[in-house]
Each structure stands twice: as structure tokens, then as C-alpha cells.
């Protein structure tokens, strides 16, 4: 089997760095993909379906057109519990509901993030006591009942360590003790497993490239969190890392290899990791990556991740830019522009969907060349 990997930019000219070296490297990588045992791998994309203009069915077909077999999205606690103990899907989340109801029947798995505070119970902040944890678990149970057998993964919170989704006042004045997150994971996992035993529970959503965050989650391992989850979720963003090597796919994945070895040394076990967020922003200001380089990195990183048996999936952040501001980093992680036109990453995925899918599923007849030329 022979494969070559032409790394060209969107205009069709060869990128400035050494093409031949990349071709040889990715030829070897694709060959190795076919030599490994067949195993499930989630090639996913993060979405914010409620914010998009078209129907959920439209975006299900769109993510499939780029070769993704999984999506990650959320259904916030504050959205579905507006009255104490009364759960419902509000009008502004009907598209999200339809999305989670129909992904599986379209051969796309889903990862649903359970997260953030509730205005009734926590004033929008973190759960901080046993009563609020029980209330969060009730929300999780309602979600699990609604999507039983349809949602494959549940992620307990998003970036607890960073305080994502929580107001700065709570982060400064009322961030709970670390033990609260452990109790939240335990209660949520038990609530979901009672209803849908086949669902996979993951938690963490921290950066394994940063020592303070590794040490933070080590505390949860010491508390016994691994008894309540099926894997650890990580967000190994490195686009702004001072160590330039960590910004590359090779350097980033090598750092995750070191973290996985750390877990083995600590626990004596093989622990599954799920990369539930990673991406390369294409903003024009400091920290941004050229769109053509982001396309190259995305494909290379995905294949490197697939080669690790302990990495069970990757969900790229994100499908679409969140705004038209090209200088704002947070607005420019999408593989699509805000107007839904395709960046080089999307074009490369669409052009090579069958070959990439073949490599990710170890199909032995997946040969040909991958071209990111935009032609």
C-alpha cells in the first residue's frame, strides 16, 4: 500500500517548509495506521448548534461531509431547569434537542457536556454544597432519561479548573473546594449509570501540558475519581505555549504521551484519554496560526492521536468561527468562517474524506494521496 500526502496551501502552491520531509513522514504515518489493530476512534468536532442559523439536520449532514463521526455540544443546566425541579426544553434549545435525538440514527456519535451553574440553585455559579450537587445530578438524570441510548458520552462540566462559564465574581469570591468537583462527578456518574448503564462518563477537561493542572487532577485520582468515570477528558491547547515545540502536533502529542506515562506510574493502570477540545486559532493577531498551517496541523495531529491506543477520540474546536472579528482569538477556532465559508482545514477534510476515514478505521484499501490544495 502506498500513500502520499501533498501539503499545499489553499491557493495550490507548496508551503514554504520542506514538502518532501512532510510527505515521507506522513507516508509512514498513514502506513502505520493500516498496520494497527482495528479499534474505535472518535474523529469529532465541537459545535454550538443552538447558535447556528440552519436546521440541526443541515449541520448533521455538514459535519458528516467533512468526515467527522462524532460531535460535542452542550445542553446547559440553566436552560432546562427554569423552575425548581421542573425540567423542559426551552424554545431556544429545540434545535439542540433535535440534534441529540437524531445524531445516532445518522451514524454520528455524540458527546453531551453537562455544565455550568443554575440561576435558581447556584445563582449561576459553581455547585458548592451537597444539596446543589444533588440538584445538578437531577438535571443530569433528566438529560440521561431523555437521550437514553442516543448519547454515547457525557462529560461532567467543562473546564472546572479554569472556571469557564462562571462569572469572575464567583471565581474570586466563591470557588468551592476541590472536593466539590469530585462529589459532583460521583453523583452525576451514579445518576446517569442508573438510567443508561451503557453511557460513558468522562471528566477533567484540563490541560495535560501544564503542571499545575496535572497536579490538580492528581488530587481527584487520589480521591478515587477513576471509580466513577470511563476516561479522562483533556484540552491540550498549545498555540500560545512558550515552548515552541509544544505548538506542533508532534510536540503536543509527545507531551500527552508523557502524561499518559505519568498516569500509569501513578495508578498502575491503563487509563483512556479523550481529547474533547483542541484547536488552532487562525486570528490575525498574536497567537494566531496561518489557516493553511492550521489545516496541516489538524490532519497530522489527528493521525498522531489515532496511533495511541490510549487516546479514544478527539473533538476539534470548533465547527464555525463565533464572530467576524478576525483579530480576536476566541472567535477564530472554526474550520468554517462565521459566514460558513470554508477555511483550508474544511477544504482539506472534504477533499480527502474517504482516505482520511479509511486511515482512521484502518481500512486496508485506503490508498491514494491527500491534497490540501484547495483545488
Q: Does residue 224 sit within a domain?
A: yes
Q: Is residue 219 part of a domain?
A: yes
pLDDT tens sequence across 18-51: 333 443 445 445 444 443 444 579 999 999 999 9
Given a contact cutoff of 8 angstroms between Cβ atoms, the answer to whether 311 and 273 are in contact is yes
Q: What is the pLDDT of residues 211-240, one digit of tens each?
A: 999 999 999 999 999 999 999 999 999 998
Q: What is the mean pLDDT of residues 11-17?
A: 32
Number of domains in the chain: 1
Whether the Cβ atoms of residue 297 and residue 344 lie closer than 8 Å to each other: no
Q: For the chain, give percent helix, strand, coil, nearest 5.
A: 45, 15, 40
Are the C-beta atoms of 310 and 260 separated by less than 8 Å?
yes
**Residue numbers of the domain that contains 298:** 37-359
Q: Is 114 helix (H, G, I), strand (E, B) or coil?
A: strand
In a domain, 53, yes or no: yes
CB 42 within 8 A of CB 17: no
Phi (first) and psi of residue 202, to 5 degrees = -130, 160
pLDDT at 369: 53
Cβ distance 275 to 304 under 8 Å? no
Which of 37-41, 45-49, 133-137, 267-271 is predicted least confidently? 37-41
* R_g over Cα of the chain: 20
Is residue 205 within 8 A of residue 247, CB to CB? The reply is no
| Percent residues over pLDDT 90 in the chain | 79
Q: Tell me how far apart the alpha carbons of residues 359 and 3 are, in angstroms, rounded to a whole number.
A: 10
The residue count of the chain comes to: 375
At 81, which CATH number? 3.20.20.80
pLDDT for res 30: 47
Q: What is the largest CA-CA distance in the chain?
A: 62
Please answer whether residues 219 and 270 qualify as being in contact, where contact means their C-beta atoms are separated by less than 8 angstroms.
no
Which residues are within 8 A (CB) of 280 and not within 5 positions of it... i.e. 6 or more apart? 239, 289, 293, 294, 297, 298, 333
Per the listing, cell 484540563 goes with 206
Evaluate whether residue 23 is within a structural domain.
Answer: no
Q: For residues 108 and 177, give the distance between their C-alpha atoms in angstroms, rounded to a whole number.
A: 37
- In angstroms, the CA 150 to CA 138 distance is 19
Q: Is residue 5 part of a domain?
A: no
- The β-bridge partners of 83 are 86
The pLDDT mean for the chain works out to 89
Rounded-to-integer distance, Cα 254 and Cα 55, Å = 39
C-alpha to C-alpha distances, 62 to 219, 342, 349, 350, nearest whole angstrom: 40, 11, 12, 10
Q: Where are the alpha helices (DSSP H) in the chain?
A: 19-35, 56-65, 77-80, 94-102, 130-146, 168-173, 178-195, 211-223, 249-267, 291-306, 344-351, 353-360
- pLDDT confidence bin for 360, thresholds 50/70/90: confident
Is residue 287 included in any domain, yes or no? yes
How would residue 370 be classed by pLDDT, with cut points 50, 70 and 90?
A: low
Q: Is residue 97 part of a domain?
A: yes
Q: Cα 143 to the chain's mean position, in Å?
A: 20
Contacts of 289 (CB under 8 A, 6+ apart): 239, 280, 281, 282, 297
Task: Report CA dihedral (355, 356, 359, 363) to the nearest 10 degrees.
Answer: -50
57 occurs within a structural domain: yes
Distance CA 371, CA 351 (A): 7
Amino acid at each position: 500500500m502506498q500513500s502520499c500526502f501533498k501539503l499545499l496551501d489553499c491557493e495550490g502552491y507548496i508551503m514554504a517548509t520542506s514538502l518532501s520531509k512532510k510527505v515521507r513522514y506522513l507516508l509512514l504515518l498513514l502506513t502505520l495506521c493500516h498496520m494497527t489493530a482495528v479499534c474505535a476512534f472518535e474523529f469529532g468536532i465541537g459545535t454550538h448548534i443552538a447558535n447556528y442559523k440552519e436546521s440541526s439536520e443541515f449541520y448533521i449532514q455538514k459535519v458528516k461531509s467533512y468526515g467527522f463521526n462524532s460531535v460535542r455540544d452542550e445542553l446547559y443546566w440553566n436552560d432546562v431547569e427554569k423552575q425548581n425541579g421542573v425540567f423542559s426544553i426551552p424554545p431556544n434549545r429545540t434545535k439542540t434537542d433535535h440534534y441529540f435525538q437524531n445524531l445516532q440514527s445518522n451514524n454520528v456519535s455524540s458527546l453531551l457536556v453537562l455544565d455550568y451553574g443554575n440561576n435558581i440553585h447556584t445563582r449561576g455559579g459553581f455547585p458548592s454544597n451537597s444539596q446543589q450537587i444533588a440538584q445538578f445530578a437531577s438535571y443530569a438524570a433528566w438529560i440521561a432519561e431523555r437521550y437514553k441510548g442516543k448519547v454515547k458520552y457525557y462529560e461532567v462540566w467543562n473546564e472546572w479548573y479554569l472556571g469557564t462559564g462562571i462569572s469572575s465574581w464567583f471565581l474570586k469570591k466563591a470557588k468551592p473546594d476541590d472536593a466539590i468537583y469530585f462529589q459532583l462527578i460521583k453523583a452525576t456518574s451514579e445518576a446517569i449509570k442508573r438510567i443508561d448503564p451503557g453511557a460513558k462518563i468522562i471528566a477533567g477537561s484540563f490541560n495535560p501540558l501544564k503542571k499545575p493542572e496535572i497536579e490538580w487532577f492528581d488530587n481527584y485520582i487520589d480521591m478515587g475519581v477513576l471509580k466513577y468515570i470511563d476516561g479522562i477528558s483533556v484540552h491540550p491547547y498549545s498555540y500560545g505555549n512558550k515552548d515552541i515545540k509544544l505548538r506542533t502536533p508532534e510536540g503536543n502529542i509527545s507531551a500527552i504521551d508523557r502524561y499518559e506515562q505519568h498516569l500509569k506510574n501513578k495508578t498502575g493502570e491503563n487509563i483512556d484519554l479523550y481529547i474533547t477540545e483542541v484547536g488552532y486559532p487562525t486570528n490575525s493577531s498574536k497567537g494566531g496560526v496561518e489557516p493553511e498551517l492550521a489545516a496541516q496541523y489538524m490532519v497530522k495531529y489527528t493521525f498522531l492521536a489515532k496511533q495511541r491506543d490510549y487516546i479514544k477520540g478527539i473533538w476539534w474546536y470548533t465547527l464555525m468561527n463565533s464572530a467576524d472579528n478576525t483579530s480576536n482569538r476566541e472567535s477564530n477556532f472554526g474550520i468554517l468562517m462565521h459566514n460558513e465559508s470554508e477555511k483550508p482545514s474544511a477544504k482539506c477534510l472534504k477533499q480527502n474524506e474517504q482516505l482520511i476515514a479509511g486511515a482512521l478505521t484502518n481500512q486496508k484499501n485506503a490508498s491514494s494521496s491527500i491534497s490540501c490544495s484547495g483545488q
